[in-house]
Amino acid sequence: MPVLHHHPLSPGSRYVRLILAEYGEETVFVEEEPWARREELLNLNPAGTLPVFIDEPEGVIVGGAVIGEYLAETRGVRAGEPALMPASTIERAEVRRLVAWFLQKLDDEVTGYLVTEKVFKRRAPASNGGGPPDAAAIRAGRANIRSHLRYIGYLAGRRDWLAGREMTLADLAAAAELSCIDYLGEVPWEEDATAKHWYARVKSRPSFRALLADSVRGAPPPTHYADLDF
């Protein structure tokens, strides 16, 4: 059975978990502490980053975007299952652009700041980067989320889904990032009703249930987090 090394508040890990759930793929989940640099994880991925997917006998696949494409190629072709990638080359290019936007740009400008400062630094020892949160980094994340939320609303207001006519990996990438931010109560949903409506559609899917059940020790989610009518 495949194995996924992940953390509940790692957006890339959440992205892969959503894809696995959409494909109905049974998987063994191994929770890691990203700051711990555990030897077994470093043997799989010397960078020590998450997620890491083991698909025996094929091997080890590293990184949310890479794992997502791998799963689309190896699981998405099954009859009756959603491919999560469009058929045409140009549409696939748009999906890849948006996946990179959310898993890289949104993560660098918002999610990484908020999750690191509000959760990871509080749990990690000082020797591994732990310590008091950086208020400037939190302010930056809170400021940057607004433009990203508007962009999601812009896309959702002009297309059936973020990348086009069908739900794709782009929607799951955006939802994975926003779900981490929402877990911390840091998404100003009142600022863009279109983005909120789109997120509610994704959040209501069966694949999202496991994410809504997540609870990180010492950092419980706000009451609205698991509410489908938030």
Q: Tens digits of per-residue pLDDT, 159-202?
A: 999 999 999 999 999 999 999 999 999 999 999 999 999 999 99
Give residue 173's pLDDT.
99
Give residue 77's pLDDT.
74
pLDDT reading at 121 higher than 90: yes
Give residue 76's pLDDT.
85
Residues 41-70 have a mean pLDDT of 97
Quote the Cα angle for 202-208-213, to 5°.
140
Residues 74-79 have a mean pLDDT of 77
The CATH code that applies to domain 89-208 is 1.20.1050.10
Q: How far is Cα of residue 129 from the mean position of the Cα atoms in its chain? A: 22
pLDDT reading at 83 higher than 90: no
- 172 and 16 in contact (C-beta within 8 Å)? no
pLDDT reading at 43 higher than 60: yes
**In the chain, domain spans:** 89-208
Give residue 16's pLDDT.
98
Say what percent of the chain tops pLDDT 70. 98
pLDDT reading at 136 higher than 70: yes
Give residue 53's pLDDT.
98
- Model pLDDT for residues 215-226, shown as the tens digit of each residue: 999 899 999 999
Residue 146 corresponds to which tokens in the numbers above? 């607004």
Residues 108-126 have a mean pLDDT of 96
Helix extents (H) in 39-192? 39-44, 64-74, 89-100, 112-115, 121-123, 135-158, 169-183
pLDDT reading at 79 higher than 70: no
Of 201, 195, 205, nearest in space to 157 by CA: 195
